[in-house]
Structure 1
Amino acid sequence: MHHHGGPAVVDLPSNIIQNKYDWKCLDISTTPLHVKDCMNVRSQTIFKVDLFQQSYEDCEKPIQILGPGETILAWNMDDNTLLMNSSYYAKNTEWCYTDSNFEDSVLIHPYGRPTECLSAPIIVGDPVTVVPCRVPTVEQIQGITWQFLKIY
């Protein structure tokens, strides 16, 4: 077994909190990744994510990412950020992520390997796989590392 993790970024400004989180497959992890509640953030936060790809063969469950109040976080390839999708969970008013047009994001239905890049409609209760459009059909996400970038 092997894991893929990103190298630590050196010489980061002191206001950046860097975390690393990697696994081979989500199904060996007990829970999806949850972003800390916005109430614990004193200023606007950008949630930056880097994804690692490898063979999907033995991976049954790609990564799920949930935000504050179970809000689905959407992937925006243009600026490499993860964004809260207010159209899915409208009652969440804790907007501590940068806003975006829903069409900028890629949301794939639960645990399916993407065959094309699309914004799949979400129904309540769906677990959601978050993938970048450029993931080839023979590959899937198997590792993740993230940074919390505080905007002062």
Structure 2
Amino acid sequence: MLHADAVLTPRQRLRLAWLILEEKWPVARAADSFGVGWKTAAKWAARYRAEGQAGMADRSSRPHSSPAKTGPATTKRIMSRGHASGSTSEDPEEQRWRWAGGQAAGPPRLPVRRSAADRPAVSEPTERPRAGPPRAGRRPPGPRTRRPPAS
């Protein structure tokens, strides 16, 4: 199955690699004719050289490992507290007391964003921005003239 964002099909990749390796086309020329970058063309040629036709197939972009993934014990602990759904049966004041380790202070309060109605209105510019200096090598447009009708 073709990857959703793939520019080339496996058959086109094979043709591209064949042109570079067997027909001795320059990588940039072959890449341009297929509408891809030279790095992409070089990658497909290298895969064909190393793996043959099997290397032209789509590959998964899924990572092989996720070392920073949350461990199962931590996930279970979080899920048991009811934090995943955002709702618990506990009273909010009791939660704050528990988070503070039995102290009167609760978790730090986050600042509340002001709504659009509370923000000051942005004033519109009073005049149009001035055009910069003319670019070098360009003449200002001349007077517009009409061509006489062809007779």
TM-score (norm 2): 0.21
**Structure number with larger C-alpha Rg:** 2
In terms of fraction of residues, the more strand-rich structure is 1
* The structure with more helix, counted as a fraction of residues: 2
TM-score after normalising by structure 1: 0.21
**RCO higher in 1 or 2 (8 Å CA, sep ≥ 6)?**
1
